[in-house]
Amino acid sequence: MADHPDHPPDRPQQRPETSVVGAVWQVLVGRPLRFGEAAKEQITPVEGLSALSLDALTSVAYGPEAILLVLATAGAGSLHAILPITIAIVVLLGLLVFSYRQVIDAYPAGGGAYAVSKDNLGSGASQLAAASLIVDYTLTVAVSIAAGVGALTSAYPSLHSETVPICLGILALVTILNLRGLGEGARAFLLPTLVFIFGLLAVIAVGLFHPLAEHAPQPGRSLLPVTSETLGVLLVLKAFAAGCSALTGVEAIANGVPLFKEPRVKRAKRTELLLGTILGVMLLGLAVLAVRFHIAPRSGQTVLSEIMAASVGRNWAYYTVSLSVTVVLGLAANTSFGGLPVLLSLLARDNRLPHLLSMRGDRLVFSKGIWALAAMSGALLVAVRGNTNSLIPLFAIGVFIGFTLAQSGLVVHWWRTRPPRWAGRAVLNGVGAVATGTSTCVFLFAKFTEGAWVVVVAIPMFIGLFHLIERYYRRTAHELGLGQIPERPRPKPVLVIVPVVNVSKLTAQAISEALSIGDEVVAVTVVFDDSEGQADATGVGPAVRSEPPGPCQTEWEQWHIGVPLRVLHTEYASIVRPVIDFVDEMRSEHVDHQIVVLIPVVVPRRLFQRILHNQLDVALSAALRSRTDLVVARVSLSLDELAST
């Protein structure tokens, strides 16, 4: 508004917006952007790694550990199985990467699994995909931040008691950066992302070719059980299900295609391939090193920390990479902040969530969706006290449901549209759908009693919420006659009622505004018959005695403005009740009029001074809220404006 020619920034009425709080907030999130400046917030493929891929890339910090924690129950001799399980996960990763490159081709407007399911599988499947992704995106934020803080407390154990405050601090930082815009966040996260990628690849390379501390003792005690169970098919399936948490985030690029610079499809596909390559190399390298160094879960240490310590020793390189892991794990929540608000906006446009989630903020981001995600993930972090292992059993189920629906929908899409080479694409997506569908069943079976039942309950609850909101909007649209041509509007004569307590500049401005909008204007004031004085409901001046004829009446008669003043007498302490009774009387006497209640209000210089004024406005507005046949409005007078005149 400040840059619009009708609202120049130096107009006096704009001053209240530049409060201390408003100024600080603008420094935090930046100045409002015009739609023409949206290109500044669009990203390149490399920036796409920091904006939309950190969730997947940083899953190497908890994916291999999740596998080893399951395998450890069968004893030290079973830990070598991490390598074949990781190979299976990387094969599945390859299927997903190529499948989502096809999603990008077919649905360049974004939306991912929700858009594909809605187009090809129907309303029910699209709502299942949306609910699953909401659960997954919320868990992604919580798991990423908790894992990052876990890496930090592994390197600096003295911080362990501050886990929850650190988690919430990182969440607040990521939220503010996303409110500034995805592009700024991506560029801010790019340096730590590159340090993480190249640092961890260097650690893996050193560990593979010339480890520096292979036999150095590790801190903490071993978590291997004294008695172990047999490494059977069920345990391998559980380990596979746990390790597939490393595949979350692969879909985020397809969800956020509109966030890329032109040519969007080409850049998004390039980012997807880059993500798959880097993640696959990291997962395989860490699995090989885990077997080579005989890594086992230990108290107070993450598996990634153990591998890095064995590869390069606990020196500056170890602490540099550990710090970068902590930073990017915390920032990996950015993937969800880039994807979920877009998804929520699509659901809102389809009348399945409140419409306010489809509105962009001053920085052209879906700010309400960002706040919703921050609130949900913050509550989850507090509930589990920042413990990653409490969240891992819930993780990946939602996103794998989305994987399965997206790929199944693409099979239908290729069958319907039949572009060149459609059969090969359909086969690839069909194989991917079977693989991810099977994996989803494995997750539910293996993790149900460990906490996955929470996801099984949460997803239907979200679907039920979608149905309730959609039904409400449908009923409201019918009642409002949306899509129909209404009757021709008929103007009504306007009666304006102005509550006053004294004669002042504020009263003069209110009467002036009333005369400009109404055919008939009447002012009302309340006199307490048994009180010592007349209450000053605005808090502008001292109370005055209500002895007849009363100062307000005397001053009104001397004013000679041609507007009648009705004096309302009451024996009770309420100034609102007599005004309400008078308004109701006018409603019954002027049934063919549009009645407007115009309340004078003072705009003080300071925010904290607002409590000293406008008590009548607060009470009267609340009391009149249920009267839908009249208009309640305010006329404001700024004390800053008075001082400048």
Average pLDDT, the chain: 82
Average of per-residue pLDDT across 54-72: 84
DSSP state of 392: G
Residue 506 · residue 523 · CB < 8 Å: no
Which residues make beta-bridge pairs with 632? 597
The pLDDT of residue 229: 60
Three-state SS sequence of 49-82? HHHHCHHHHHHHHCHHHHHHHHHHHHCHHHHHHH
Same fold? 40-342+368-474, 494-644 = no
Domain ranges for the chain: 1-31, 40-342+368-474, 494-644
Name residue, tokens 């001799």. Answer: 77
Percent of the chain residues past pLDDT 70, beyond the cut: 87
* pLDDT over 80 at 121, yes or no: yes
Confidence at 467, pLDDT banded by 50, 70, 90 = very high
Helix residue ranges per DSSP H, 210-315: 233-243, 252-255, 264-292, 303-312
Percent of the chain residues past pLDDT 90, beyond the cut: 21
The pLDDT of residue 133: 87
Average of per-residue pLDDT across 75-91: 89
Amino acid at 390: S
* pLDDT over 90 at 329, yes or no: no
Task: Return the minimum-mean-pLDDT range out of 382-391, 428-437, 507-516.
Answer: 382-391
* pLDDT over 50 at 547, yes or no: no
Which residues make beta-bridge pairs with 528? 570
Closest CA relative to residue 103, chosen from 336, 463, 404, 441: 404
Residue 258 · residue 279 · CB < 8 Å: no
The pLDDT of residue 470: 94
* pLDDT over 60 at 422, yes or no: yes
Measured CA to CA, the distance from residue 60 to residue 165 in angstroms comes to 24
* pLDDT over 50 at 354, yes or no: yes
* pLDDT over 60 at 545, yes or no: no
How do the residues of the chain divide into helix, strand and coil, expressed in percent and rounded to 5? 65, 5, 25
CA angle (177 as vertex; 172, 181 as ends), nearest 5: 140
The pLDDT of residue 595: 92
The pLDDT of residue 526: 87
What is the CATH number assigned to the segment(s) 40-342+368-474? 1.20.1740.10
The pLDDT of residue 40: 65
**CATH class of this structure's domain 494-644:** alpha beta
CA distances from 109 to 196, 258, 334, 346, 463 (A): 31, 6, 20, 11, 23
Model confidence pLDDT, tens digit, residues 570-602: 887 778 889 999 999 998 888 889 999 999 988
The pLDDT of residue 47: 84
* pLDDT over 80 at 321, yes or no: yes
**298-302, 463-467, 577-581, 612-616, range with greatest mean pLDDT:** 463-467
The pLDDT of residue 348: 92
Task: Return the minimum-mean-pLDDT range out of 109-113, 190-194, 495-499.
Answer: 109-113
Give the phi and the psi of residue 496 in degrees, each rounded to 5.
-105, 125
Other C-beta atoms lying within 10 Å of the C-beta of residue 559: 14
- DSSP reduced 3-state for 107: coil
Tokens read off for 494: 């306007």
The pLDDT of residue 146: 85
pTM above 0.95, yes or no: no
The pLDDT of residue 284: 94
* pLDDT over 80 at 563, yes or no: yes
Measured CA to CA, the distance from residue 48 to residue 267 in angstroms comes to 9
Tokens read off for 435: 């693989």
The pLDDT of residue 535: 45
Tokens read off for 429: 């997506």
The pLDDT of residue 449: 74
* pLDDT over 70 at 227, yes or no: no
The pLDDT of residue 16: 43
